[in-house]
């Protein structure tokens, strides 16, 4: 029976891949990729030539059972990668992991690149405890989720596209207050990497004047514990 390896890939700099990840990819019977074109460039860069198949959010429900059976019949192992970072973290992968475990397949996740960890550490916000929210709902449930997080005492982490950064920061300020401490990290591990720190109000002003570019990690400091208790 084969093994399913979850293999993190660089979120920016191509040097941010481990020696073990390279070996696992080279030895795989085949690689499952979120986008074969994107992952194909990485494999070519690493001089890795193994069969590659698509596994993305649009087909994972239909293909997961067949993939589990293929993994069971593998001679060695299968590697799952996403476009960037660790699969299943705001990317496809969870369904395949769950079904593989249900069917007795060994699953191993390699440690490696992910965007929110370096963003959290560099934000200068408390990072001993945090809440990862990923992408907020686009419409239904968005306001409800923000209201729920208003009294959260831990640092809160969101993913966001550059096209919605100012809108999301504005909504966060409306719920949490313009003086709540926050940070916006973009282009993690790339040439134009940047982390802007300040209050939500200051971040809104900054990105209103400076067009947001690149993929963002938004971080919001937790509510003040004393203030939270006073409101109860």
Please determine, for residue 227, whether its predicted confidence score (pLDDT) is greater than 70. no
Confidence of residue 173 (pLDDT cuts 50, 70, 90): very high
The stretch 180-185 carries a mean pLDDT of 98
Count of C-beta atoms within a 10 Å radius of residue 12: 20
Q: Say what the pLDDT of residue 14 is.
A: 92
The stretch 136-157 carries a mean pLDDT of 95
Structure tokens at 17: 């891949």
The stretch 172-176 carries a mean pLDDT of 97
User: Which residue, among 8, 60, 55, has the nearest Cα to 30 in the 3D structure?
Assistant: 55
Exposure string of 62-74, with b = 16+ CB inside 10 Å and e = fewer, is ebbeebbebbeeb
Annotate 96-159 with DSSP letters as a single string: HHHHHHHTT-EEEE-----SHHHHHHHTTS--SSEEEEESPPSSTTHHHHHHHHTT--SEEEEE
Q: Say what the pLDDT of residue 229 is.
A: 47
Please determine, for residue 139, whether its predicted confidence score (pLDDT) is greater than 90. no
Q: Say what the pLDDT of residue 80 is.
A: 97
For the packed helices 200-209 and 165-176, what is the interaxial angle rounded to 10 degrees? 160
| Segment holding 64, helix H or strand E | helix 60-72
pLDDT averaged over the chain?
Answer: 93
Model confidence pLDDT, tens digit, residues 4-61: 999 999 999 999 999 999 999 999 999 999 999 999 999 999 999 999 999 887 777 8
64 against 204, higher pLDDT:
204
């Amino acid at each position: 029976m084969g093994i399913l390896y979850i293999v993190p890939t660089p979120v920016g700099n191509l040097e941010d891949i481990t020696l073990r990840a390279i070996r696992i990819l080279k030895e795989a019977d085949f690689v499952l990729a979120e986008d074969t074109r994107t992952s194909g460039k990485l494999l070519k860069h690493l001089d890795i030539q193994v069969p590659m198949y698509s596994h993305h959010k649009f087909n994972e429900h239909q293909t997961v059972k067949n993939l589990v059976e293929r993994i069971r019949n593998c001679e060695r192992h299968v590697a799952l990668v996403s476009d960037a970072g660790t699969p299943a973290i705001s990317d496809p992968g969870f369904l395949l992991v769950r079904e593989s475990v249900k069917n007795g397949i060994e699953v191993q996740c390699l440690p490696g690149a992910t965007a929110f960890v370096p963003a959290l550490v560099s934000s200068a916000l408390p990072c001993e405890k945090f809440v990862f929210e990923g992408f907020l709902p686009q419409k239904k449930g968005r306001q409800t989720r923000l209201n729920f997080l208003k009294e959260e005492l831990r640092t809160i982490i969101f993913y966001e596209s550059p096209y919605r950064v100012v809108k999301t920061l504005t909504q966060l300020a409306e719920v949490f207050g313009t003086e709540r401490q926050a940070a916006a990290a973009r282009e993690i591990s790339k040439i134009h990497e940047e982390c802007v720190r300040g209050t939500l109000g200051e971040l809104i002003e900054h990105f209103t004047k400076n067009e947001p570019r690149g993929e963002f990690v938004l971080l919001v400091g937790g509510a003040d514990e004393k203030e939270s208790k006073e409101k109860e």
